[in-house]
Structure 1
């Protein structure tokens, strides 16, 4: 097998894996299930002892996914936020539908990038397109674990569509 063949196989494997990393599946509960059946009140409630609501977590994911997608799609570095707090948008009661819809819109923007032939190209001095996509997937998965924890604390887990409860 040539290096070109190995690179093509790696590219295909990554293109197949990436959507599952964003959406869940075998390794963890899918994002659609994790966000399903939440009312605005449930999504915007921060349980006692936990730092964020589901809506705040998803708004934070949206902030970073939008930032990294803009880098990929513009092909240039963007200024890094000065403070972590800058990446946690304010979420109010009544915002859940907007925040959730934005999450799905951004997810739709990610899909076409998974199969790009230029994933090894750098976009911001140090990271490649593929590395940014992997960072986005891992960040999203990390916070979706927190979404499940918040839902458990609220007593609204598992959703009607099912979810791991062990």
Structure 2
């Protein structure tokens, strides 16, 4: 938030409300991109773990990675303290088997419901660590989620599993 917004309580409150309205759309999708529920719908375990030729990750791996980071962020917000940063990027990509897909998908939805609770908080401008506010941390992770869900669409397109039964743009 800018210094001007911080010095004008009405402006700061409007900015806070705008961010609170935007955050769920960033995590869930909306007008700008297909929602996460639709993006994950209609895949069986085998499809979810298939890595198309030339692509580095499967839908299940991408979802498990998003879960890892969303859980990490929620731990910071809910515990009120910094969590250890992973030593290697590979540590944030848990292995996923076809039989794990239902659990990974359900975990994504459970974490998303926890995020929804925090996105509506009235204290998004409060610091959560030495560098960010709650709102900034949530926005950063919303963009991370949106980034990887764009990749999920690409993987599904390469698998011939797009659009999903829930619908989605085909262009």
TM range (shorter): over 0.9
Counterpart in the other structure of 2:64: 59
Give a deviation string over 1:98-128, Cα, whole Å, max 9, x none: 0000000000001111122221222221111
Pairs within 5 Å for 1:75-90: 75-90=80-95
Whole-Å Cα distance in 1 between the matches of residues 109 and 13 of structure 2?
Answer: 29
Structure 1 residue ranges (4+ consecutive) displaced by more than 4 angstroms after TM superposition: none
SS in structure 2 at match of 1:94: helix
TM-score by length of 1: 0.96
Counterpart in the other structure of 1:42: 47
Give a deviation string over 1:55-112, Cα, whole Å, max 9, x none: 0000000000000000011111111100000000011121100000000000000111
Counterpart in the other structure of 1:125: 130
Whole-Å Cα distance in 2 between the matches of residues 11 and 123 of structure 1?
Answer: 15
List gaps (5 residues or longer) in structure 1.
none
Comparing 80-89 with 4-13, which one deviates more in the overlay?
A: 4-13
Root-mean-square deviation over aligned CA pairs: 1.3
The answer (yes or no) to whether the contact 1:11–1:115 under 8 Å persists in 2 is no
Counterpart in the other structure of 1:68: 73
Counterpart in the other structure of 1:3: 8
**What is the aligned residue count?**
166
The answer (yes or no) to whether the contact 2:67–2:107 under 8 Å persists in 1 is yes
Pairs within 5 Å for 1:95-114: 95-114=100-119
